[in-house]
């Protein structure tokens, strides 16, 4: 494995290489390049996108009602990993949900309805 130095990073950035290309050139992981970008102040550390109080209250209420964590995440436009980490909720693999989802997927009408009413994912 290579080492990410400030000079090497600066030079590769000036050449217009992206993180993946820099990682390949230096024989390191993309994560190592990302950390070096922050360490050498080429990029600021992204703040953690914490849930708001309203989102926390809604997520807990829906979770208590038995809604699957993935649905709650869709509703809040967040990932289920974010909810799991920030709220300590663990996605229960509910057999009923699995059965319902399989029925939705097998029915063109139900799947189309699901697509119409499911929250749209925001593309960043």
Section 97-122 average pLDDT: 78
In tens, the pLDDT along 20-36 reads 999 999 999 999 999 99
> Does residue 121 or residue 49 have the better pLDDT?
49
pTM higher than 0.85: no
Q: Which of 23-27, 66-70, 75-79, 91-95 has the lowest mean pLDDT?
A: 91-95
Residue 16, class by beta-carbon neighbours within 10 Å (0-12 exposed, 13-18 middle, 19+ buried)?
Answer: exposed
> Does residue 31 or residue 97 have the better pLDDT?
31
Domain residues of the chain, as ranges?
6-39, 53-117
> Does residue 9 or residue 89 have the better pLDDT?
9
pLDDT over threshold 50, residue 124: no
pLDDT band at 87 (very low <50, low <70, confident <90, very high): confident
Section 104-114 average pLDDT: 87
Percent of the chain with pLDDT strictly greater than 70 = 84
């Amino acid at each position: 494995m290579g080492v990410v130095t400030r000079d090497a990073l600066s030079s590769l950035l000036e050449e217009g290489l992206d993180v993946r290309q820099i990682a390949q050139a230096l024989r390191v992981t993309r994560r190592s390049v990302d950390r070096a970008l922050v360490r050498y102040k080429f990029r600021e550390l992204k703040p953690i996108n914490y849930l708001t109080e309203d989102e926390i209250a809604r997520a807990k209420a829906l979770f208590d009602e038995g809604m699957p964590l993935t649905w709650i995440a869709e509703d809040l436009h967040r990932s289920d990993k974010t909810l799991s980490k920030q709220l300590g909720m663990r996605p229960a693999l509910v057999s009923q949900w699995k059965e319902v989802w399989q029925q939705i997927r097998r029915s063109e009408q139900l799947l189309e309805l699901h697509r119409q009413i499911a929250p749209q994912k925001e593309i960043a």
